[in-house]
A and B are shown apart, each in its own frame.
Chain A
């Protein structure tokens, strides 16, 4: 417990999250009691609130619990995310490719658990090589480019990309950084929605996501970028990453990559012609509808921080495989 809350940023993030939940409950309760909102809207709000009450402990709990729990949770998120993606695109009917992607997701997260960076990095080209040849023995060249292209994108997003979030847990000081990313992408969504509603103006990409505005996108960059840079200054104090230009880049990167991940999923859904990726989370849709922002943020932030200060470089490597 002491280790889990060793860093002040961890305490601040967990406390702020609890406070926001309590505030949301009070606000929805007040709306319900005063009868100011329509019953359907109130029901929708309570559904979303209920989902958050389940989701937040599932997100924050493993990070606080330890390295292996964090990597385990990221593995599960990757597999569930790929499942939704494969069912939405129809790729799940390609059993061989789906099995290779699932094994690749498990393997890359195992490399993270082993803290074997060389294998972790090598698994991307290796898995793509296997995906390129896996369906050839079926002797069904029709649709080859499409199914392999979808499988490579699926592995990139839910395996190689998302696993960077788990690999961060090899750093002794991973908790505040991972919690910062998890909560910053949620804040990013809220900031974009609120700024867009308050300021309004031109649509960002109306054919991709009709409700998003340019003011919302820029507002999210300012709000999320500012919060991430501010907390980052405490988190990275005394390291090269603590320089203002790196903090600024980190803040902007989290916000822009988060929104890009959101728009990427919107593009996928528009192309297929579906509204939600699933129905697991009442009020949200599928798991990917909630976690889309993390898909691009994880690898980008990992490589920025790893480039500037290194992540997990002092920790013992190849914990399971040895060598």
Chain B
């Protein structure tokens, strides 16, 4: 008897608020929209970017956090597209609220298709971090995030922000490092639209975030850098 009458976390929210909420839970329509979007993404990456993925065997069962270097808007999309099965259905990209959730249509696309959660730069409250952490553990989710916090304008990897370590503190949830190659050439921040070009993703072994935060963050960055060589 493990059944509990547990209403949706976003029950009672106005439709607009629900789209931008970290409590958003999907129903059948959201699942179908996201599955269609992932299918289209896989098709796009195969046809236009001849996507190659190495190290899929390193992906653990959910929950986990997928991180990578960030040079392009393609990054979150390509990481979402490489997941399969249950992990793919549980994946949420943590996306900049100002970019993806400001307008109504943008919020609709980001919530239903991309299945993203908004992170508002410089405005993330402690409660929101706790909400993200609780959902990651209790709902067994997969988060896709980029610890640099913003796209690199040169293609070179920047420093990692400490938010990742704060998010995962005490959870025991592993981090899976990835290195995305070719995204900067295909769609840098200076271009309006992407151009075709080879993309390659290397997935590394999971990294534990237990212990000292600075050490854990350095280990994460080191793992991503190592995959790039």
A-to-B contact residues, CB < 8 Å: 83, 86-90, 92-93, 95, 98-99, 102, 142-143, 146-147, 271-272, 274-276, 278-280
Contacts and interface: CB of A to CB of B under 8 A. Distances in A.
Contact of A88 (B3, B7, B14): B7
Contacts of A98: 27-28
Given A142-B1, A143-B2, A143-B3, A92 B8 contact: yes
Contacts of A275: 12
Contacts, number: 52
Given A278-B11, A278-B12, A279-B14, A90 B5 contact: yes
A248 B146 CA distance: 69
Contacts of B83: none
A87 B12 CA distance: 10
A86 B11 CA distance: 11
Contact of B12 (A90, A102, A274): A274
19 contacts: A86-B27, A87-B7, A87-B25, A87-B27, A89-B5, A90-B5, A90-B6, A95-B31, A98-B28, A146-B1, A147-B3, A272-B7, A274-B7, A274-B11, A274-B12, A275-B12, A278-B11, A279-B12, A279-B15
A83 B10 CA distance: 13
Question: Range of interface residues on chain B?
Answer: 10 to 19
Interface in B4-25: 4-8, 11-15, 25
Secondary structure dominating the interface of A: helix
Nearest to A91: B5
Interface in B23-77: 25, 27-28, 31
Contacts of A89: 5, 7
Contacts of B25: 87, 92-93
Secondary structure dominating the interface of B: loop
B35 to A, nearest CB: 11
Cβ-closest 6 pairs across A and B: A143-B3, A146-B3, A87-B8, A90-B6, A142-B2, A92-B27
A142 B2 CA distance: 6
Given A90-B5, A143-B1, A279 B28 contact: no
Contacts of B31: 95
B80 to A, nearest CB: 19
B58 to A, nearest CB: 27
Contact of A271 (B3, B5, B6, B12): B5
A88 B8 contact: yes
B1 A279 contact: no
A61 to B, nearest CB: 22
